[in-house]
Each structure stands twice: as structure tokens, then as C-alpha cells.
Amino acid sequence: MILIDTNILIDIAENDPRWAAWSQAQLEAAALRDRLAINEIVYAELSAGYESRAGVENFLAAAGLEIAAIPRDALFLAGHVFRRYRAEGGARTGVLSDFFIGAHAFVAEATLLTRDPRPYRKYFPRLDVIAPD
């Protein structure tokens, strides 16, 4: 499984002038390698850009994405990684979703496709990440 980070989908949905082509190409290449999935966190973040659930569902279907539930082991790991992040002086807001996504990919032994690999490489160093160089 290749788990897709929200930033990839937003790039495509919004036709980002800098990143849409890269994100689309990476998504297509990933689809040739394995099944593509998102989790509930990515679904929620992506939903912020749509007026209806049908819009989100249509986008996901067109992209060939399935929704994979976050295992409890990943939820537990995300909490512990967040605690480490906070102990290192990290902000209270805006990053917990990255830890849910990274922990899910790690526990599921999945590859993560993202445009922002920094939090994943720091807190999940053994995670297989596809990202810009």
C-alpha cells in the first residue's frame, strides 16, 4: 500500500501551479506500483476544500484511492511521537495530523507519498517516503 498525504491531493485538486504536475506524476507512478490509500485524517483535511461529501468522494474515486482505517497501534504510536515532539519544544497545534499519517504508514509497512517529508523523516526515520529531492 502507498499512503497518500493530503498535500499531494490538494496540489492536484487545486491545480497548484508549482506542484500539481509533480504530484500528479507521482500519484500515477505510485498507482503502477501498489494500491493507493488515504486514511480518515487525510479525508478530513481534504474535505475542507469541498462543499459536499459527494465532491470528495468523486475526487477520491477518480484518483483511484481507497480509505484505509488507522490501526490502533498507529494511533498509540502517533500519541507517543507527538509527546516526544512536544518534549523537544514543538508547537501544540498543526502537527498531530502528520503523526497520525506517519504512524499509520509506519505500522502498515506502507510507503508514504508526500511533498513535505521533514516530519516523517525525523520522527519515522525507517519509513519509506516518496518526496521531492
C-alpha cell recorded at residue 104: 499509520
Q: Cell for 59?
A: 475526487
The predicted model scores a pTM of 0.94
Half-sphere exposure (Cβ direction) of 12: Cα atoms closer than 13 Å:
20
Would you place residue 90 in the very low, low, confident or very high pLDDT band (cuts 50, 70, 90)? confident
CB 74 within 8 A of CB 103: yes
What's residue 91's pLDDT? 82
Q: At what angle do helices 6-13 and 20-33 cross, to 10 degrees?
A: 120
In the chain, where the domains are located: 2-130
> What percentage of the chain reaches a pLDDT higher than 70?
99
Using an 8 Å Cβ cutoff, are 129 and 117 in contact? yes
Q: Look at residue 1 in the predicted model and tell me its pLDDT.
A: 98
Question: Domain 2-130 belongs to what topology?
Answer: Rossmann fold (3.40.50)
pLDDT tens-digit readout, 4-25: 999 999 999 999 999 999 999 9
- Residue 72: pLDDT band by 50, 70, 90 thresholds? very high
Q: At 60, is the pLDDT very low, low, confident or very high (cuts 50, 70, 90)?
A: very high
Please say whether the beta carbons of 98 and 127 come within 8 A. no
Q: Helical H runs in the chain? A: 6-13, 20-33, 40-47, 53-63, 72-87, 96-107, 118-123
- Please say whether the beta carbons of 3 and 65 come within 8 A: no
Q: How many residues does the chain have?
A: 133
Q: Please give the mean pLDDT across all residues of the chain.
A: 96
